[in-house]
Amino acid sequence: MNTTVTLDKAGRVVIPKTLRDELHLEPGDALSLKSEGERVTLRPVRSASPLRREHGVWVFRGSQRLSAAATDQVLRNLREQRDRDHRGTRP
């Protein structure tokens, strides 16, 4: 995609919706910024896990299929972390 965007008074730009959709970008996603001379590059910061929580639902964001065993392992790890975080807080 080739397009032109304009900085607003606060120095912000809007990434066009078609590009956000193509890159699966959502509000709150992190972007890394790199500058080289007159060039500025933005890249999505992707987590190590293709599973992420969106609006309370686990969503797979990856280009390769995720096995059931891998899904189970990620969920097991998350539940264990949750249990460790809440240990001792129950009446």
2 plus 40 within the same structural domain: yes
Is 12 part of any domain? yes
1 plus 40 within the same structural domain: yes
Helix (H, G, I), strand (E, B) or coil at 72: helix
Helix (H, G, I), strand (E, B) or coil at 2: coil
Domain tally, the chain: 2
41 plus 25 within the same structural domain: yes
pLDDT score, position 91: 57
63 plus 23 within the same structural domain: no
Tokens standing for 17? 């919706």
CA-to-CA distance for 86 and 71, rounded, in angstroms?
23
pLDDT score, position 1: 79
8 plus 37 within the same structural domain: yes
The residue segments making up the domain with residue 27 are 1-46
41 plus 69 within the same structural domain: no
pLDDT along the chain (91 residues), means of 10: 91 93 85 94 80 78 77 86 78 57
Q: Are 18 and 24 in contact (CB under 8 A)?
A: no
68 plus 30 within the same structural domain: no
pTM recorded for the entire structure: 0.51
38 plus 60 within the same structural domain: no
